[in-house]
A and B are shown apart, each in its own frame.
Chain A
Amino acid sequence: MVIAQCKKLIKVYPGAQDFRALDEVSLSIKEGEFVSIMGPSGCGKSTLLNILGLLDEPTGGEYILNGVPTQRLSDARRTELRRNEIGFIFQSFNLMPRLSVLENIALPMRYTNMPRADILPRARELAVRVGLEKKLHSTPLQLSGGQCQRVACARSLANKPSIILADEPTGNLDSKASAEILTLLKELNDGGMTIIMVTHDPKIAQGTHRIIHVKDGKIV
């Protein structure tokens, strides 16, 4: 089953000379796939990921997420989709520095209608799943990079998304931590999670089902 489908996506950044970041990109991702997107910097892979994650809107083309065409949705509806269907993992972790590990993992759930009493138990469950049961009350500043990225992984799972979008999740990590994160992502994928990962590192990309190469806004 196709979970995310792009048809001729175009993204133009207006300026003195319009910049075409995506040039008619078509792509479809099946449920349970682990896909990596590779390409030199500035090739449009981050733009693609932002559009897939509903953080940005394409200038043209279609994007269908889980059967829902997204191009004419209101901001509220896009937010709802993003909240429920997509989990993000960022290169620089993007955790809330003042919240504990537990609260960081719980944060996406705070934006849902989930009963308040259920939020922390589920956050704890997720923390255990990524192996941080001993760090529940630490803040991100007290954690290593690898640990931070694990918090981010747990957070991305909070609202049971259909896709995880990882933007160079190992970019800020040493090789050991990178391997750990990759293993974690693979485990998630084995559990049926669809994952799209942007990476520079061919070694990391080799562990995925499919590698999509992007160059100058096109898939090659």
Chain B
Amino acid sequence: MRLPDLMATGWTEVWAHKMCSFLSFFAIAIGIATFFYTLSILSQRYSRLGQTAKVAGAGRVETSTNHPLSLVQYQDLKARLPEGSSLALTTRNFNISNGRWWNTLYHRGNKLLGGGVRGILPSFKDADFVYRLEGRFINWKDVENKHRVVVMTVFPHEVKKAKKRFWWDDEEGVQLVKDYSAHHHLLQQQIELHHQTFTIVGILHLPTESDDVRLSRNREDRPMFYIPYTTWYDLYPEEKDTRQVDIRVVTGKESTAKAAGRSLASYLRSQFGVDEKPEIEFFQEKMEEHLTQARKSLNNMLFMGIIAMIAGGIGIMNVTMAVIFSRTKEIGIRRAIGASRKDILFQFVVEAMLLGLCGSVAGMILGYMAVLHLAEDTSQMTFSWWVVALSVLIALVTSFLFALYPAWQAAKLKPVDALKNE
């Protein structure tokens, strides 16, 4: 029998045995739903990790020191790094509202609570720059001349309030800055940071939570006011806490990361003595940790998916057996009028695969609904064809494998015995 005929026959029979077919279909649909759900989440996680690595920059090395580096030291260190490296120095963040430094941030006499201040260099832009910049960024002139300029971040207005992402999400400060920036054109306005007046030269529009592919530790967790690195030390020269500096090197090539790490460590030791024991972090290693984590959950989830598919397969097998039992006479008739063993085998296998196909479609719908309602962060979900293709393939292969044995049993029946069956 040719495939179109087999499919037509299969479809007629599937339709004629609705209840049996439904059970079989249901079993496979549940299995596929599990698979689809896990695959969707995993595919999203992997693609996101890829984006994270891309925006983070290749050959990224990070460390921190309690000795603020001067601009001369900056140039000195940069010269020791591999050719073409980007070197960024960033002072530690201070909460404006921590009470010790500032209580309130004012703009035109309006109170803006919350937020933090960090001193940066123009090279800050070289990695993890996921913002949309309005106005201009801090430049070297600002750094050299200790300009009182600020580039501030603004959270997107579509941040969902219902889903609390940060503990301060419902804090007055974030909301105030957000609302305020929505209604006032802040660019070129004066703002007061610790009783000093600054000019807002740039606005960094943060992407929505789902579009922000940076690792969570590199994301802003509150409104940020980025000022020139040198200006920052000018404002807060004495406090010990203000001395800590984050150093970030991006060499552009993964192969030079280790060398950059060594140069960084030796330079810091040469400058600040043997007590300086910088902890060098290689971004690649961090990414690998994340990948390992993802792979681990992949294994767990795949295991669950496989269990679900086996259950679905057993369902298919059981139903196929029942169907064959109830259709023994039909098998006899078909054999008598010329069907070969192969024809009988294919007939039941094709029937099961048709059910598997329908089940996979229903399963994917179910799985997609699960993704929408159960996944932690649905906004990052993307629809990928390979997940669909793989789900269908898994359903077809499972129904094929599990229908094979009952179908083979059916094909093995002697025509005369099958015909006797009523």
Contacts and interface: CB of A to CB of B under 8 A. Distances in A.
Interface of A: 50, 53, 55-56, 75-76, 79-80, 82-84, 88, 94, 96, 98-99, 107-108, 110-112, 116, 155, 158-159
Contacts of B409: none
Looking at chain B's contact residues, the main secondary structure is: helix
26 contacts: A55-B415, A55-B416, A55-B419, A56-B416, A76-B341, A79-B339, A82-B338, A83-B337, A83-B338, A83-B340, A84-B338, A88-B336, A88-B337, A94-B329, A94-B336, A94-B419, A98-B16, A110-B1, A111-B334, A111-B337, A111-B338, A111-B339, A116-B2, A116-B5, A158-B337, A159-B338
B416 A98 contact: no
B327 to A, nearest CB: 10
B336 A55 contact: yes
Nearest to B418: A55
Size category, B interface: 20 to 34
A112 B1 CA distance: 7
Interface string B266-280: 000000000000000
Contacts of B335: 55, 79
B341 A53 contact: no
> What are the 7 A-B residue pairs with the smallest beta carbon separation, nearest first?
A83-B338, A56-B416, A111-B338, A79-B340, A55-B416, A108-B337, A55-B415
Residue of A53, A82, A111 ringed by the most chain B CB atoms within 10 A: A111
Interface of B: 1-2, 4-5, 12-13, 16, 329-330, 333-343, 414-416, 419
Contacts of A84: 338
A111 B340 contact: yes
B339 to A, nearest CB: 5
A83 B338 CA distance: 4
Given A56-B416, A98-B12, A82 B336 contact: yes
B340 A76 contact: yes
A159 B339 CA distance: 12
B262 to A, nearest CB: 73
Contacts, number: 61
A110 B16 CA distance: 20
A158 B338 CA distance: 11
B3 to A, nearest CB: 11
A56 B419 CA distance: 11
Contacts of A96: 330, 333
A103 to B, nearest CB: 9
A110 B335 CA distance: 12
A50 B419 CA distance: 10
Given A88-B337, A110-B2, A111-B1, 11 more contacts: A55-B415, A55-B416, A56-B414, A56-B415, A79-B340, A84-B338, A94-B329, A96-B330, A107-B337, A110-B1, A111-B339
Contacts of B339: 79, 111
A55 B414 CA distance: 8
Contacts of A53: 336
Residue of B336, B340, B341, B416 ringed by the most chain A CB atoms within 10 A: B336
B350 to A, nearest CB: 13
A158 B336 CA distance: 13
Contacts of B414: 55-56
Given A98-B12, A98-B16, A116-B2, A79 B416 contact: no
A79 B337 contact: no
A72 to B, nearest CB: 17
A94 B333 contact: yes
A99 B8 CA distance: 11
B5 A110 contact: yes
